Structure 1
Amino acid sequence: MRPHRRFPIDDVSQVGEARRAAQALAAELGFDEEAAGRLALAVTELGTNLVRHVGPGRQAELLIGPDAVRGPDPAPALQVLALDRGDGMDLERCLRDGYSTGGSSGTGLGAIRRQADRFGAFSAPGRGTVIATRFAVRGERSTVPPRPPAFDIAGLSLAAPGESVSGDAWALRRDGAQWSLALADGLGHGPEAALAADRLMALLDEATPGLLASPAGFLDSAHEPLRSTRGCAAAMVSLGEGGAPLRFGGAGNITGRLISGVADRSLMSQHGTLGMQVRRLQDVVYDWPPHAVLVLHSDGIVSRWSLAETPGLLQADPAVIAGWIARDHLRGRDDATVVVARRHEGQLGQLERA
């Protein structure tokens, strides 16, 4: 996954720059004219809203980058996030056509939701707003909603200041009812760090499903192949459908947490660096409480963060949660990646009935 590009939005001229970058990425991915048009409209509307309603000096920005796999046989997709630290908004009212606080026609946010393949948002008074949208490469959009997958997973990756590539990488693989989610942080940053992280993602793609059933076993198997690189910290989670607990393995400073409204549990990684020095890793099994979300992130995000002051955020789209964490807790001097996973409601029902 290439990193998201960041576009600070303080005036209208910067909106055009973001739109042109989004169109270039869409062309690379093979977006047709209809899909590319929807994307361009959304970037323009999101950026214009930031200029009109947030204004300069409020750390408003657009993030544009690839979106994660979300369902069976997915098309390539782009993710556009709008982040700000403004006064917040009444999302329910702002999504109604005709409502406006800035003298416009009041169709912008509602139009964005209609144009996007996926839309999520969260806002809090005095804390700002995060809006996350997804646009798929295919222009034809089915009128029949697809069956939701067992897990809803989204994330974003940002390169260190001055770098065009990220030394972090993450990937999701599905093998029937088994899901494997991995995150790697190559030592340092820049191209050499990216080579190490990307090598682990390639090994994930090549591994047999049996090996992936044990995250620690897979990471152990990757240690020797990674010796030709500068090495990386890494974590992997094996997720089973049907309300099964998750299985976790990690080496180094990848943070994992299971967070609900009543609990916040850290997932324990072991010391070491894959490709350099690491003791034999062990799987740790954790119960996944109902309504809890799983968060994985690299050390480009401050480790001691809390969502306690934003009630309701944990019910938002995973992409929105990832954007909120990155907005508020970015160290700003290293690559940073945040991945958020939620068990689908159908899975929750199975767990609660068990």
Structure 2
Amino acid sequence: MIPHIDVPVSEQSQVGEARRAANRLATDHDLDETVRGRVAIVVTELGNNLWRHAQKGRLLIGCRRSDEGCQLEVIAIDSGPGMADVARCLRDGYSSGGTPGTGLGAVQRLSTDFSVFSSPGKGTAILSRTWVPSPGTPASPSFRARFAHAGICLAAPGEVISGDAWDVRIDGDGKATVIVADGLGHGPVAAEAAAEALKAFGTLRGSPATVLERAHPALRSTRGAAVSIVELDANAGTVVYAGAGNISGRMISGIEDRSLMSQHGTLGLAIRKLQDVSYSWPDHSIVVLHSDGLITRWTLKDVGGLLQCDPAVIAGWLLRDFTRGHDDVTIVVLKRG
């Protein structure tokens, strides 16, 4: 799986580095010149904001293709100083640094999806998503009406390939199913194990525990992986979860924080009898799955309003504050659309 490109931005030259990386990624996914031009402007504007105004700024750039089309995401995160009035900063003509002040307003207009969260003294996370539908696919895919989801995957420091992987399947009956896999170790061998888990997920059907148990033999030829699957039913308001190993699941809202229970074991090596665990899924709750590259005792207290943002903004905020920093990391966030 291709991890996100992670570019720290503390000087102007790094903005150009991020822009070139985004262009290569868009070209590799056969996005046309018009789309590449829009993305270049987005990266430039967000990058310039980071090096001019932010502390510990970075740009995360990722692209995912599915049968419906291709989406390229640019996520800007920093540790301050934050914006006291986001709406004012989005208006053309506003500037805090002597520039024309059309940066964030231009990013919003050029984006298919745009979301921002900022807290004075804590920092900012901004998403710009460009959606390019496949021929015959509606400009706004129907699945977006029921579910909103995003995932960030980064390779361990010094690695090019991530040993983590994730995927999502959204059905027309109001269900979404998400898998997160963490191959043992780092690099290509770990990635092979995670890829085998995703291959099984793409072909097997059944409850999360059933799919994991049937995938277990397919991973015996690999190093093995920790894997969790969650099935969300928007109509029934339920979450069904099963996992083996150290993939963590949480269901969180402003009033509730519930862990989703995995069991010990490693797919492809040894697992116990897996069980599906069902939970009610309140309308206001988000579901987060992540590998152990993120610490387990993270919290989103004292960031009111973040949970109302796009899942990519939530994932970026978690990544900024709670990454261990020495391992592959994957964070997937899903909520009702």
Q: TM-score, normalised by structure 2?
A: 0.95
What is the deviation of 1:86?
Answer: 1.3
Match of 2:124 in 1: 129
Match of 1:200 in 2: 197
What is the deviation of 1:143?
Answer: 11
SS of structure 2 residue aligned to 1:275: coil
Match of 2:292 in 1: 299
Distance (whole Å) between structure 1 residues aligned to residue 326 and residue 293 of structure 2: 7
Runs of 5+ in structure 2 lacking a partner? none
Aligned: 1:60 with 2:54: no
Distance (whole Å) between structure 1 residues aligned to residue 163 and residue 326 of structure 2: 12
Structure 1 residues 143 and 218: alpha-carbon distance in aligned structure 2, compared to 1, 3 A threshold:
closer
Structure 1 residues 145 and 272: alpha-carbon distance in aligned structure 2, compared to 1, 3 A threshold:
closer
What is the deviation of 1:126?
Answer: 0.6
Aligned: 1:93 with 2:81: no
Q: What is the aligned length?
A: 333
Letter in 2 for 1:135: T
Q: Percent identity?
A: 53
Structure 1 residues 272 and 88: alpha-carbon distance in aligned structure 2, compared to 1, 3 A threshold:
same
Letter in 2 for 1:294: V
Task: Compare the two structures and name the one with the higher strand fraction.
Answer: 2
SS of structure 2 residue aligned to 1:299: coil
What is the deviation of 1:5?
Answer: 1.1
Structure 1 residues 196 and 137: alpha-carbon distance in aligned structure 2, compared to 1, 3 A threshold:
same
Match of 1:348 in 2: none
Match of 1:175 in 2: 171
Letter in 2 for 1:288: W
Match of 2:73 in 1: 79
Runs of 5+ in structure 1 lacking a partner? 345-354
Aligned: 1:263 with 2:252: no
Equivalent runs, 1:211-226 vs 2, <5 Å: 211-212=205-206, 214-226=207-219
What is the deviation of 1:241?
Answer: 3.3
Aligned: 1:274 with 2:267: yes
Letter in 2 for 1:87: P
CA root-mean-square deviation: 1.8
1:313 counterpart (289, 296, 306): 306
Q: How far does the alpha carbon of each residue in 1:292-326 deviate from its partner, in whole angstroms, 9 at most, with x for none?
A: 10001000001101101211111111000000000
CA contact (8 A) 1:68 1:154 kept: no
Match of 1:118 in 2: 113
CA contact (8 A) 1:26 1:137 kept: no
Distance (whole Å) between structure 1 residues aligned to residue 28 and residue 138 of structure 2: 27
Runs (4+) of structure 1 exceeding 2 A deviation are: 136-140, 142-149
Match of 1:347 in 2: none
CA contact (8 A) 1:235 1:254 kept: yes
Aligned: 1:232 with 2:225: yes
